[in-house]
Amino acid sequence: MAIEIDLAPAFHDCDPMQVVWHGHYFKYFEIARCALLQRHDYDYPQMSESGYLFPVVDARVKYIRPLRFAQPLKVQARITEWENRLKIEYEIRDAGSGEVLTRAHTIQVAVGIASGEMLYVCPPVLWERLGVQPA
C-alpha cells in the first residue's frame, strides 16, 4: 500500500534562503497521498460520495536536509494503519543519490458527513477499497 511520485520544487515554493519553505512540504505530501488514494479508487471525492470525510488530525515532519528549487525528488506515501484511523507515512528522497531528506506522517480519522461525528473504527468502505480484511 505504497506509491512513489516524482516531483521537483517550483521556484515559488522557495524562501529567501533559496530552500523550500517548510510549509510547502505538506503540499508535496498531499500530492503523494492523493495519488495513493486514487490508486485505491478512494480519493477525496469518493470518500465524500461514500458518506465520509477524513480530516487530518495530526501531522509530524522531520526535516533532515533542505529541499531546493528544481531538485529532482522522489516522494513516497505508504499506508501503515487503517483500522481505527488512516495513518500515512511519507519519505522524501533526492532522486539522484537516494538520500533521505524528509520523513513525516499524517493521521486522518473518519467523520460521518450526515452526523458530523468521528468514527472510532474506519468504515468498511475504506477496508474494501484497500483490499484488507477486518481484524
Q: What pLDDT is stored for residue 134 in this prediction?
A: 67
Q: Where are the domains of the chain?
A: 2-130
Give the mean model confidence (pLDDT) for residues 23-42.
97
Q: Which CATH superfamily is domain 2-130 in?
A: Hotdog Thioesterase (3.10.129.10)
Give the mean model confidence (pLDDT) for residues 26-38.
97
CA distance 43 to 36: 8
User: What is the tens place of the pLDDT at every residue in 37-90?
Assistant: 999 999 999 999 999 999 999 999 999 999 999 999 999 999 999 999 999 999
User: If you compute the radius of gyration of the chain from its CA atoms, what whole number of angstroms results?
Assistant: 16
CA distance 6 to 48: 27
Q: What pLDDT is stored for residue 133 in this prediction?
A: 79
CA-based nearest residue to 65, from 35, 34, 106, 97 = 97
CA distance 52 to 37: 14
